[in-house]
Structure 1
Amino acid sequence: MNIADEIARLHELHRSGALTDEEFAAAKEKVLASASTSSSGFGSGGTATNDNPFANLNHLRRSKHNQWIGGVCAGLGKFSGLEAWIWRLMFVLFVSAFGFGFVAYLLAWVFIPEEE
């Protein structure tokens, strides 16, 4: 539930009489305070939040140990939690069906750093 939904729910409870004015104000302050301390995204100089899908992208590495060609599929498997053979199958399907799988694999091979 995001902040707007929580505040809307608090407003509904306040309007129905379940919360007094003081309780509504205190609950609203608590929701806003927790939101401001937990959202330290890229622009505020903090670390990325869990809402950001690119927060863990720096952990993506090509594998040295489980590689067939460049280790891209094994690295993607480790990063995403899927097996490496699933990534290999997807690349093969994209190469045979659409033709851009080869280019995507080469770009990943060039731009994804290798494990240390």
Structure 2
Amino acid sequence: MADWKKLAKEALLADGKIDTREVEILRRSLFADARIDKSELEFLADLRKSAKSTVKEFMKLFIEAVKNHMLADGVITDTEAAWLRKTIFADKKVDADEIELLKELKRSAKKTSPEFDKLYNECVK
């Protein structure tokens, strides 16, 4: 059986970038069941890391997906915080979109773990 993630990644990044049309396709497909699972979130993170460039709508989709997954139960765990840390620091810098994501997660979560609080305090100054 073909690896759908590998195939989709190759198709989406054939030109090295993710455009608005591709974001619409990703949104329709990934949010078809109104929830983002761990595999789908990992796929988006990999796309984000691998693309030479993305349109602003892609970051909006990524943030929405992270919030959908991590806030499903209202609690951000140490494991989820570790994933966030790895993803945010993948390029060795924290950008404005990532800071906004952390702020939105902090505002929306019913409870955050010590690891998330540590990450938040490091990134949001």
TM-score, normalization: structure 2? 0.27
Higher relative contact order (CA 8 A, sep 6+): 2
Q: Which has the higher strand share?
A: 2
TM-score, normalization: structure 1? 0.29
Q: Which has the higher helix share?
A: 2
